[in-house]
Structure 1
Amino acid sequence: MISPQLSHINPNPSFPFSNSTFPQSLPTKTLKPHFKPKPTPIVSVLQYNRKPQLSGETPRVVVITSGKGGVGKTTSTANIGLSLARLGFSVVAIDADVGLRNLDLLLGLENRVNYTAFEVINGDCRLDQALVRDKRWSNFELLCISKPRSKLPMGFGGKALIWLVDALKTRSEGCPDFIIIDCPAGIDAGFITAITPANEAVLVVTPDITSLRDADRVTGLLECDGIKDIKMIVNRVRTDLIRGEDMMSVLDVQEMLGLALLGVIPEDSEVIRSTNRGYPLVLNRPPTLAGLAFEQAAWRLVEQDSMKAVMVEEEPKKRGFFSFFGG
C-alpha cells in the first residue's frame, strides 16, 4: 500500500528508493537549464580527405629525367603514375628508353606487352592495341617505345614521339589527364627524344655530387628546350647520414640546384622487394615511408605545388624520416 505522502509518485520497480527509505520531503532547488553547445563542424586538417584539384591544361605531359642512371627515374615513374591513377586521374605512362626498357617490369606488365609504339608508327597495329591497361587500376595505361633487342631506325626521334602524344590527345577513348614519359639516362639522342613533347619536367636526384652535377646540366638543357616548369625529387635520403654530416641535406641540394621541391623519398629496402615482384610501393598495405612520400609527390604534381625543406639539426627532438621537411 502506498502511503498518502507518496501517492502522487508513479510506482516504478527500478526506482532507487523503497517506500521505507524514500525521503518524506524533497528539497526544493531551482535547476538551471543545461544548454549543450552546438557541435562545430569537423574541419579536417588532412588534405588527403579531399581529391586534389587538377591545375593546368590537360593533358599534362610530364617527363621524368635525371641525366644520371640509377637514381630512381623508372621507380618514380611507376609509383607517381599509379598514385595519380588512384587519385582518379587517367594516366598514360610512356617508356621512352628504347634499348633498356624496365618500366613494364616494375609495373608487373612485362608479359602483356605484345605491341609497341614502333608497330603503331609502322602501321602494324592500332594505338589502342599497343596500350597495356593495368588490371589493378583501369585508368592507368602503359606504352612502350620498342621491344628489347629490337633496333629502331635513325628516323625515330622527337617528331615521332610528338605524333604519339598527339594521337593520345585525339583518341576516341578520351584524352588522358597525364602523359608521363620515363626518360632514358644520359643526354644523348634518347634524352632529346623524350623531352621534346613535354611541357613539364620532374628531375630525380640523389644527395651526392655526381648526381647533382648531372642534374645541373640537365636543368640547363631542359630550359633551353623551353621547359620552364621543372621540379625536383630527392631520392634515397638517409637522415642518419645527414645528422652525421656524411650526406648532403635536402636543403643543401635545393640551394645548389635552385629548383622547387616536389618530394623527398627516404632510403627504403622495400623498393627492391617491390621491384622484383612488379608491385609498386604505393600499393603496399600497410604503406611504407617511401610509398607515402611518392603519394605526397603525386598530390603536389596534380596541384602544381611544392614543399619546403629544413635542416635536420633544426628539429633535434623529432625522430624519423618526416623530421627534416615540412609543407
Structure 2
Amino acid sequence: MLSLHHHLPGTTTNANLQFPPTTHLRHSTPFPKTLTLIPPKPHLPPLTPKALLQWNRKPQLSGETPRVVVVTSGKGGVGKTTTTANIGLSLARLGFSVVAIDADVGLRNLDLLLGLENRVNYTVVEVLNGECRLDQALVRDKRWSNFELLCISKPRSKLPIGFGGKALTWLVEALKARGDGTSGNGNGSTGSRSPDFILIDCPAGIDAGFITAITPANEAVLITTPDITALRDADRVTGLLECDGIRDIKMIVNRVRTDMIKGEDMMSVLDVQEMLGLPLLGAIPEDSEVIRSTNRGYPLVLNKPPTLAGLAFEQAAWRLVEQDSMQAVMVEEEPKRGFFSFFGG
C-alpha cells in the first residue's frame, strides 16, 4: 500500500496512474486516484560563461568580409598585442579564417605571444622586394590552421623608404584577393581563400607607424586600462581614427580589478565608458596567467580549464563577429560603500 511518505521524486497529484479503490491513507481521507509521473530532466552542465560559448549557437558573421580591424591604443603596454593574439585565435576557434598582421616594425612581439617566432622565415619586406610570394610569408598556426600570421619585417631590419599606408593597403588587398574569394562560410577550411578577418596589431604612439597601420582598416578596437594616462591617449586616438574615416570604434577595458573598484581606488568600467563614449566590446579582468601564457607562447583562450581573462577574450571575439557590444552596469554592494561599477553582459 502506497502512502504520501513513499512518493517518487518529481510526482504530483493529477494524472493517469490508477490505484485500487481500496487504497487509502492511514487516519486520513482516501488516497487520490491518479498521479502524474514527470520524467526526470536530462543531466545539464552548470550554466557558466564557458557553457554558453560552447553549447549555445554559433555567432553569425555580420558585415562585409573580409573585415579589416586595427587594434590600437595610443599608449604602450596596455595589451594590444595580447588582445590581438587572443581574439584572433578565438575567432579561429569559432571557425572563421583569420590573418593577423604585426604592424609594429621596430618592436615585433606578436609572433612571440603566438609561439611562432621560429617559423617566421619571410616577411612583407621580402614580398615587396620580390624575394618570395605572399603565401610564403604567411605563417600558419599548427593548432588552428585557419589562423595565419604575417609580420612586416624582421627585428633589426630596415623597411624600404617607400613603405607606408599605401603599401599596407596593397598588402590587405592582396589578402582579400587570395584563392577564389570565398569568405564568411566559417567552416575553418585550410585552403587558400580570402580571410574573414584581417587583424592589424598597431604600434604604440601616433606617429608614422600608427598612420600606416590604420590606413587600410575600416573598423577599430581601442584598448585601454582604467587609468588617466591611458584614457587621455585613448581619447586622442579616437579623434584621429574618426578623422581618418573609421567610425566603427569599439573599446576593450583591460586589467580590471574589482577589489580596487570596490575600494574606490580604480575607475570602474562604467566610468571609462562614460568618459570615452564608445561601445564596450569587452572588459578583461586582471589575471596573473597572462604573464605565464606570454612566456609560453600559448594564448589564454587555449588554456584548459579557461581563466576568467580567457573567457572574457572569447566573449569579446563573439561580440566582434556579430558587431555587438556589452553594457557596463551598476551593482549594489554593501550599503556602507554605496554603489560601485562593475562590468556585465
Of structures 1 and 2, the larger Rg is shown by 1
Equivalent position of 1:309 in the other structure: 328
Q: Does 1:326 align with 2:333?
A: no
Q: Does 1:68 align with 2:112?
A: no
Equivalent position of 2:92 in the other structure: 85
Amino acid at match of 2:147: F
Equivalent position of 1:136 in the other structure: 143
Amino acid at match of 2:286: E
Aligned pairs (5 A) from 1:136-215: 136-172=143-179, 173-215=192-234
Aligned to 2:275, the other structure's residue is in SS state helix
State the alpha-carbon separation in 2 of the partners of residues 215 and 27 from structure 1: 79
Give CA deviations for 1:278-326 in whole Å, capped at 9, x if unaligned: 00000111111111110110011001111111235x2459xxxxx9222
Change (3 A) 1:28 1:244: closer
The Cα shift of 1:28 comes to: 4.6
Equivalent position of 1:113 in the other structure: 120
Change (3 A) 1:282 1:258: same
State the alpha-carbon separation in 2 of the partners of residues 120 and 41 from structure 1: 56
CA contact (8 A) 1:315 1:324 kept: no
Give CA deviations for 1:149-168 in whole Å, capped at 9, x if unaligned: 00012210011111111111
Aligned to 2:60, the other structure's residue is in SS state coil
Aligned pairs (5 A) from 1:267-286: 267-286=286-305
Identity %: 85
State the alpha-carbon separation in 1 of the partners of residues 84 and 75 from structure 2: 15
TM-score by structure 1 length?
0.85
CA contact (8 A) 1:250 1:311 kept: no
Equivalent position of 1:242 in the other structure: 261
Amino acid at match of 1:167: A
Q: Does 1:126 align with 2:144?
A: no
Amino acid at match of 1:141: E
Return 5+ residue gaps in structure 2 as ranges.
1-19, 24-30, 180-191, 336-340
State the alpha-carbon separation in 1 of the partners of residues 220 and 124 from structure 2: 22
CA contact (8 A) 2:125 2:160 kept: no
State the alpha-carbon separation in 2 of the partners of residues 316 and 100 from structure 1: 46
Equivalent position of 2:184 in the other structure: none
State the alpha-carbon separation in 2 of the partners of residues 112 and 88 from structure 1: 23
The Cα shift of 1:118 comes to: 1.0
Equivalent position of 1:265 in the other structure: 284
Return 5+ residue gaps in structure 1 as ranges.
1-25, 318-322
Aligned length in residues: 296
TM-score by structure 2 length?
0.81
CA contact (8 A) 2:270 2:342 kept: no
Amino acid at match of 2:240: L
The Cα shift of 1:41 comes to: 11
State the alpha-carbon separation in 1 of the partners of residues 299 and 238 from structure 2: 27
Aligned pairs (5 A) from 1:27-46: 28=22, 32=33, 34=35, 36=37
State the alpha-carbon separation in 2 of the partners of residues 123 and 279 from structure 1: 33
State the alpha-carbon separation in 2 of the partners of residues 214 and 183 from structure 1: 14
State the alpha-carbon separation in 2 of the partners of residues 131 and 275 from structure 1: 21
Give CA deviations for 1:65-104 in whole Å, capped at 9, x if unaligned: 0000000000000000000001111100000001111000
Give CA deviations for 1:40-76 in whole Å, capped at 9, x if unaligned: 9999986422110110011110000000000000000
Equivalent position of 2:109 in the other structure: 102
Equivalent position of 1:20 in the other structure: none
CA contact (8 A) 2:99 2:197 kept: yes
State the alpha-carbon separation in 2 of the partners of residues 244 and 28 from structure 1: 69
State the alpha-carbon separation in 1 of the partners of residues 241 and 283 from structure 2: 21
CA contact (8 A) 2:88 2:98 kept: yes
Change (3 A) 1:200 1:41: farther
